[in-house]
Amino acid sequence: MNNPETHSWRGIQAEVMRRITERIWQPGDLIPNEADLADEFGCARATVNRALRALAEAGLLDRRRKAGTRIMRNPVRKAILDIPITRLEVERRGATYRHVVLERKRTNPPPSVRQQLGLPKTADLLHIRALHCADDRPFIYEDRWANLAIVPDILDVDFSRISANEWLVNNAPFTNGDISFSAAEATEPEAEILETQEGAALFVIERTTWNGSQPITSVRLAYAPGFRMSTTI
């Protein structure tokens, strides 16, 4: 295949996906091995490996050592969630973004945070509480812990110019993460910050990102009442 776009792993991924969706390769079929595909696409075997690995992680391929790679009979599609930059999220809504740092403190975290992140008692973290606003109205209250052993440069960041959220997305690549969604009643401090009533229903996201076995950051995001989350599949 001479199309240069297929020489990239994303190009190979798209071509394999096309063959699956158009039933050129049927559910349960054993597909050509990596060496043969590398030959066909005119690329390195590692490039093919990356493309197939991505499709396996998406639930479309079943890869087994020595047994080859098969098309899944009953594909399980997995949702892939990006970490949004709050500033862009606000601006996409047609609103003006503003960010206020409520607290910034280098400290040893409480036992609950240390246990969640698997850190020792001597852990050195930066605690950041901030309010993200849309058209000068509260949008998200952020309560974040950043592991200084992994992201020491965050200490030098001017948070009057960029939020911790945006800086970390741009400067702290991660290998994996945990995320949970829930509803919670606003505590008295949260109600004051978000300019709502105590006990008001809040949409809450709790997220931790990791670099291998080392936690990078853990954050709790409480959205002002009325927020609606939408995505695509």
* pLDDT 10s digits, 157-179: 999 999 999 999 999 988 788 89
pLDDT at 57 over 90: no
What pLDDT sits at residue 220? 97
The dihedral built from the CA positions of residue 222, 224, 160 and 95, taken in this order, carries a sign that is positive
Cβ 195 vs Cβ 129: under 8 Å: no
Across the range 90-118, mean pLDDT stands at 95
For the stretch 135-144, pLDDT in tens is: 999 999 999 9
What pLDDT sits at residue 17? 87
pLDDT at 36 over 80: yes
Q: What is the pTM of this model?
A: 0.69
Q: What is the CB neighbour count within 10 angstroms for residue 48?
A: 24
pLDDT at 4 over 50: no
Q: Is 132 helix (H, G, I), strand (E, B) or coil?
A: strand
What pLDDT sits at residue 7? 66
Q: Is 147 exposed, middle or buried (0-12, 13-18, 19+ CB in 10 A)?
A: buried
Cβ 157 vs Cβ 171: under 8 Å: no
pLDDT at 196 over 80: yes
Phi, psi of 19 (to 5 degrees): -65, -30
Q: Return the H-helix or E-strand segment holding 138.
A: strand 137-147
Domains and CATH numbers, the chain: 4-71 (1.10.10.10), 86-223 (3.40.1410.10)
Across the range 105-121, mean pLDDT stands at 93
Owner of token pair 């990356």: 50
